[in-house]
Amino acid sequence: MRQIVLDTETTGIEVRDGHRLIEIGGVEVINRRLTGRHYHQYINPERPIDPEAIEVHGITDARVANEPVFAEIAHEFWAFVQGAELVIHNAPFDVGFIDHEFAMVNRARGNDELGPLASKCGILDTLKMARDRHPGQRNSLDALCKRYDIDNGHRELHGALLDSEILADVYLAMTGGQTALTLGADRDADSSNSSSGNTGFGIRRLASGRAALRVITASDEEAQAHQQKLAKLREKGVCLWDQLGG
């Protein structure tokens, strides 16, 4: 199954107020494995960015002044996401902005070649998923990172690509899977690498001449405390340690 974990940044909160996209970021996941393939693009919104929005994502008018407008990148982005399930935190927000941009391009060109997203993509809202799993709790991306022990210490401001990478880790943790980055996504490259001991999957081989691992044994005091604990368990009638031959 192909999924794109997606995030956007915008000039403001409401599409109906004329706000536009300024950044799109997405990472590809296939069969619950991060492939290393991603999409990232800054966009000239052709309008000023609200000061309140800049405080959130740190993207200024000057930063996107020389970036392409959405119409110039629309087909490339559409090709990247088509056929995938889109994993988005608070999906209605991002989908609403993207579909609005597609509709503007279609009107200008007199056709309906682009979008809406739901016509070619599945959409999974991780915010709704989190609220269903953790009712009554905070379910922001930062809160979920803390709940699922995902490191987001390098996230001082919002950014579409960074947030999509973090969301991928959160989504895989929420749905019971371990994240895995396939460094050698191309199968032919993997085959050629295997003969040299590099499988392309981040396997690190240890040198045969490495120092032996140091074994730390319990002190007499620690061993005595352990036996006392086991004795208390035996008094209660259950001691799994005995069943394991400990």
DSSP code string of 225-242: HHHHHHHHHHHTT--HHH
Read off the pLDDT band of 157 (50, 70, 90): low
Predicted confidence at residue 215, as pLDDT, reads 64
Could you tell me the pLDDT band of residue 177, with boundaries at 50, 70 and 90? low
Instruction: Return the residue matching tokens 């969301």.
Output: 167
Q: Dihedral (C-alpha) 143, 144, 148, 150: value to the nearest 10 degrees? A: -80
Residue 114: CB atoms within 10 A of its CB come to 23
pLDDT confidence tier of residue 196, bands split at 50, 70 and 90: very low
Structure-model confidence comparison of residues 182 and 212, the more confident one:
212
Has 19 been labeled as part of a binding site? Answer: no
DSSP state of 46: S
Fold classification of 2-175 (topology level): Nucleotidyltransferase; domain 5 (3.30.420)
The C-alpha atoms of residue 165 and residue 245 are separated, in whole angstroms, by 45
Could you give the percent of the chain with pLDDT greater than 90? 67
The confidence band for 170, taking pLDDT boundaries of 50, 70 and 90, is very high
Q: Which of 162, 177, 137 is nearest to 153 (CA)?
A: 162
163 labelled binding-site residue: yes
Average pLDDT over residues 201-210: 48
The whole-chain average pLDDT of the chain stands at 84
Decide if 158 is catalytic: yes
pLDDT band at 24 (very low <50, low <70, confident <90, very high): very high
**Average pLDDT score over residue span 80-109:** 98
Higher per-residue pLDDT: 73 or 233: 73
Residue 52, marked binder: yes
Query: Which of 19, 89, 100, 158 is an active site residue?
Result: 158
126 vs 154, residue with greater confidence: 126
165 appears as a binding residue in the annotation: no
pLDDT at 208 over 80: no
pLDDT above 70: percentage of residues in the chain: 78
212 near 186, Cβ under 8 Å? no
* pTM exceeding 0.75: no
* 151 is an annotated ligand-binding site residue: no
